[in-house]
Amino acid sequence: MAAKDHKTTVLIVDDHALVREGLREILDYQDDLVVVGEAGDSEAAVALAAEKRPHVVLLDVEIPGDDATTTVGRIRKRSPHTAVLILSMYEGPQLLQSLLEVGVRGYLLKSVTRQDLVSAIRSVRIDKRRVIVSVSRESIAANQAGSAMLLSDREREVLELTAQALSNRQIASRLSLTEATVKRHLRNIFVKLGAVSRIDAVNKAVAASLIEVGEGKRQGAESAHR
Q: Residues 32-91: pLDDT tens digits?
A: 999 999 999 999 999 999 999 999 999 999 999 999 999 999 999 999 999 999 998 887
Residues 165-224: tens digit of each pLDDT: 999 999 999 999 999 999 989 988 887 777 778 888 888 788 767 787 655 444 545 444
CATH architecture entry for 4-142? 3-Layer(aba) Sandwich (3.40)
Distance between CA atoms of residues 151 and 20, nearest Å: 35
Tell me where in the chain the CATH 1.10.10.10 domain(s) lie: 146-225
More confident residue, 148 or 99: 99
> What percent of the residues of the chain are helix, what percent strand, and what percent coil, each to the nearest 5?
55, 15, 30
The closest of 3, 60, 12 to 36, measured between CA atoms, is 12
Say what the pLDDT of residue 218 is: 47
Tell me where in the chain the CATH 3.40.50.2300 domain(s) lie: 4-142
**pTM value?**
0.63
Class of 146-225 in CATH: mainly alpha
